[in-house]
Structure 1
Amino acid sequence: MLILVTLLTVIAGCAGSGLAQRDGYVADRRQQSSAFNERVRYVVLHYTDSEAPRALRTLMGPKVSAHYVVARTPDQRGGEPLVWQLVDEEKRAWHAGVSAWEDRTQLNDSSIGIEIVNRGPSHDASSGDWEPYSEAQIAAVIALVGDIVRRYRLPPTAIVGHADIAPERKIDPGPAFPWQRLHAAGIGAWPDAASVARYRQRFARCPPTLTQLQRALGAYGYALPASGAQDTRTQAVLRAFQMHFRPSDYRGEPDTESAAIVWALLAKYRPEALKEPHLATLTCPPDSGSDRGFAP
């Protein structure tokens, strides 16, 4: 008993002094470097495409995982929603796969993944029939993501969907996800309506070229080369962008409304990008108009 009391006293003394007793050694933590940053740079939102029991079995491994899962109707504990945490935040969950956003790739390394129980489209992405997210579910997502944003001091552009970071492979959380409502709660990005209207009016007379639109999407965060070609990658990125910011029409086709939204987002969140000559200047022939289209 005396040995146990002595050992507990030593451990308590170490903890109080900045010393940590570990297996076979003592770590001195009294001098802390300021040269570090957080692993967590992004939050990636997904839907499960299955019901909760099946989703949980899948996400318990061995091939995929997520940090959190939000049920369709979360249980309540003391009047607050219960979410399942499957992986500690400081650990790397396997939810993003091949992915890119801003200047980073392989976002499993730098993100928290949140799976939301939802079946997605009834048939395919073009069907227009998507399962809605429940009110209780979105309230839980807002509480969870809001807490993560505050703790890691994440900017609005760091809250993304799986489709945003892997547009050729994924479509979740889909056009039924209420991104604008999250923004109203202080989470994630959304363009100012007045700014969109100004750019819409400007682009009705002189729209950007397809190359400029690709550069603008790339400046916002999407991994998209400015090829000038309306290829499958461009269509996939535009579809992801439209699902996020213009869910009424997500065919992946370039149009004036999508261009106005991305320029408004850049003006709000990445104004330095609009100082670049290839985005700041739109050159239109004297007789140009709305029929100019999105040529290379």
Structure 2
Amino acid sequence: MKTLPLLALTLLLGGCAGGLRFDDSQRSVDHSSRVEFIVIHYTSSDLPRSLQTLTTGGVSAHYLLPADGRRIYRMVDENRRAWHAGDSQWRGRTWLNASSIGIEIVNPGYTDGPDGRTWHPYPQAQIDRLIVLLKDIQTRHGVAPVNIVGHSDIAPQRKVDPGPLFPWRQLAAAGLIPWPKAAVVQDKLRQLDGRVPEVAWFQHQLERAGYALPQHGELDEATRNVLAAFQMKYRPERHDGQPDLHSAALLLALPL
């Protein structure tokens, strides 16, 4: 009889030694992916410096795409938080590191010279690989098209990447993001009848599109930065942050 308590103790200790055991037979139906946003960046450097920056601490991203498009570096698991968005806001959500996947694209960004700023283009092979990656992430996590954004969209007061030469239109053609149809833009231009709306109108429409900005009706630096970010994405040939008819028509035509 004395051996029974000893046997029970042995079994108990053996179970503890094996670690926690979970019963997965009952699963909740109420859950979703933590990933709500995909944020696109450029690295402002070449591949060796990009790898060094993204692996030595202080900043990180889930993926890194070299210029040749031959490979994709997976640098942080998707179930982990990467440090790429910083102080950010989109569609009312703030500090997006916890709810986003960050993609860094190897690109110098821009060079300032005596004749002004020169932006660097993206090789087509790199964009082709990016589109495949974006479709994969979007499908697996159910990311809404309006939530595939640039760093300049979520932090327009301090960031300009991925810049005016990033081909957002190609992402739209691939069905990844919403895009204003040309015919709708022309219709909105006719409706505006040559009248540029007030600054308060632009602030309201930009907020409706997802941007964070003041709503005081003044054309201050913060408002210009946000409007420039919008223009950089949808009308990159002119992104000076000044309200104009074409920007107003694009805002009205943007499907949300």
Q: Same fold (TM over 0.5)?
A: yes
Residue of structure 1 in register with 2:12 after alignment = none
Residue of structure 1 in register with 2:29 after alignment = 34
Residue of structure 1 in register with 2:193 after alignment = 204
Percent identical: 46
In the alignment, the residues of structure 2 paired with residue 240 and residue 22 of structure 1 have an alpha-carbon distance, to the nearest angstrom, of 56
In the alignment, the residues of structure 1 paired with residue 148 and residue 19 of structure 2 have an alpha-carbon distance, to the nearest angstrom, of 42
In the alignment, the residues of structure 2 paired with residue 90 and residue 127 of structure 1 have an alpha-carbon distance, to the nearest angstrom, of 42
Tell me whether 175-184 or 32-41 shows the greater mean CA deviation. Answer: 32-41
Tell whether 2:178 aligns with 1:183. Answer: no
List runs of 5+ in structure 1 lacking aligned partners. 1-20, 76-81, 270-296
Q: Compute the RMSD of aligned alpha carbons.
A: 1.7
Higher relative contact order (CA 8 A, sep 6+): 2
1:25-72 superposed Cα distances (whole Å, 9 cap, x missing partner): 211111111222211001000000000111111111310000000000
Tell whether 2:49 aligns with 1:54. Answer: yes
List runs of 5+ in structure 2 lacking aligned partners. 1-15
Q: Under a length normalisation based on structure 1, what TM-score does the superposition of the two structures give?
A: 0.78
Residue of structure 2 in register with 1:245 after alignment = 234
* One-letter amino acid of the counterpart of residue 197, structure 2: P
Q: SS of the counterpart of 1:113?
A: strand
* One-letter amino acid of the counterpart of residue 20, structure 2: Y
In the alignment, the residues of structure 2 paired with residue 152 and residue 63 of structure 1 have an alpha-carbon distance, to the nearest angstrom, of 26
Aligned residue pairs, count: 240
Q: Under a length normalisation based on structure 2, what TM-score does the superposition of the two structures give?
A: 0.90
Note the C-alpha offset of 1:133: 0.3
1:96-145 superposed Cα distances (whole Å, 9 cap, x missing partner): 00000001000101110000000011118x94521110011000101101
In the alignment, the residues of structure 2 paired with residue 84 and residue 189 of structure 1 have an alpha-carbon distance, to the nearest angstrom, of 27
Residue of structure 1 in register with 2:3 after alignment = none
Tell whether 2:107 aligns with 1:121. Answer: no
* Contact 1:121/1:127 (8 A) holds in 2: no
* One-letter amino acid of the counterpart of residue 232, structure 1: E
Note the C-alpha offset of 1:148: 0.8
* Contact 1:65/1:95 (8 A) holds in 2: yes
